[in-house]
A = this chain, B = another copy of it.
Amino acid sequence: MAICDIESVSGNEIQLADAIEATLEKFDHLSVVRDGNAVVASTNQAKDRVIIAGHIDTVPVAANLPTQLHHFEREQVIVGRGTVDMKAGVAVMLKLATELSTPAVDVTWIFYDNEEVDSSLNGLGRLSRNRPELLSGMFAVLCEPTSAMVEGGCNGTMRVEVRAKGKKAHSARPWMGSNAIHALLPALNTLNEYEPATVNVDGLDYRESLNAVTASAGIATNVIPDLATIMVNYRFAPDKSASEAEALLRQWFDGFEVEVMDVAEGARPGLNTEVAQSFIAATKTSVHPKYGWTDVARFSALGIPAVNYGPGDPSLAHADNENVPVGHIHDCYQGLKGWLSS
């Protein structure tokens, strides 16, 4: 609750970063490095190394701070901005970083900034450019909310603009032109006929999807439009590369102009390694695929298998009624502690 009550909307993390740095610096078993508003604390026992990471920023506050502790019949719940995404995870990390002076593996604890804003500002991305030596390890855990279950890897995502062309004309004489909106028909047919694939990758089922997210066309209400555009988002399983995803989109929207607007590669769950298996065994929970894109893909791109594991229901992230069961926090604390102590 104290961590949540230090407001840290993206770009305004300095106070919380200072508090985290000051806390960690008191412990001799940790080397602490500060980079902007990211704080990295490492144990140094010359053992195999894992990374445990979490972002310290939140989306804007919606009159939901300071936090409140609600007592229900069966559980306690902390309500407020950041409780789910992801300061409950940060709390677990911070407690374990200070308590585990001689973990079974070396641990690099990464607290980073600017995850909720444009990808170019992401603190983990900045660390990988400024201090690449800090991002080494054989496995990474990102404490994003997963309801205290393990979510492995993530789907990739690609957005393309699909454009239909026509010929302008006055709408009183449309037969002099050609209507670009009407020409979108085959694209809408493709979207409606698309059957979502479910792809098994390293034992987890990834559900794909293909959706138009925006549409725009028209110059004026008395002109037949010569251009109609839909933005299509393809979420693809991590067995596919971005270029394979693009090839599929170009095939599906053959006959249209297709331009890639943004892309993020997926991440394979990486659960077939020994360290991943020991992590799953220690947490004693089920393993699920992650559909949304998270920073595990950054670790994956660095060749580090990574999973999500943290307190809180991810569907409550960013919600005005964001809240986390205290039980989730204890579960994740115990799960990580068991793994790192064994």
A-side interface residues toward B, CB under 8 Å?
155, 157, 159, 170-175, 179, 181-182, 184-185, 188-189, 191-192, 196, 207, 209, 211-218, 220-225, 228, 230-231, 233, 235, 261, 291-293
A171 to B236, CA, bound (A): 12
Inter-chain contact A214/B209, CB cutoff 8 Å: no
Q: Tell me, in angstroms, the Cα distance from A207 to B213 when the chains sit together.
A: 36
Q: Determine whether the beta carbon of A215 is less than 8 Å from that of B212.
A: no
Give how many copies assemble into the complex: 2
Is B215's CB under 8 angstroms from A171's CB? no
Contact of A213 among B191, B209, B220 (CB under 8 A): B220
Rounded to whole Å, the gap between the CB of A322 and the closest CB of chain B is: 15
**How far is the CB of A42 from the nearest CB of chain B, in Å?**
32
Are A221 and B214 in touch, CB under 8 angstroms? yes
- Which of A212, A216, A291 has the most C-beta atoms of chain B within 10 angstroms of its own C-beta? A212
Q: Which residues of B contact A185 (CB under 8 A)?
A: 185, 188-189, 192
Contacts of A223 in B (CB 8 A): 213
Measured in the bound complex, the distance between the Cα atoms of B209 and A182 in whole Å is 13
User: Is A182 in contact with B207, judged by CB distance below 8 angstroms?
Assistant: no
Among B171, B191, B220, point to the contact of A182 (Cβ < 8 A): B191
Of the candidates B189, B217, B235, which one forms a contact with A212 in the assembled complex, judged by CB atoms under 8 Å apart?
B217
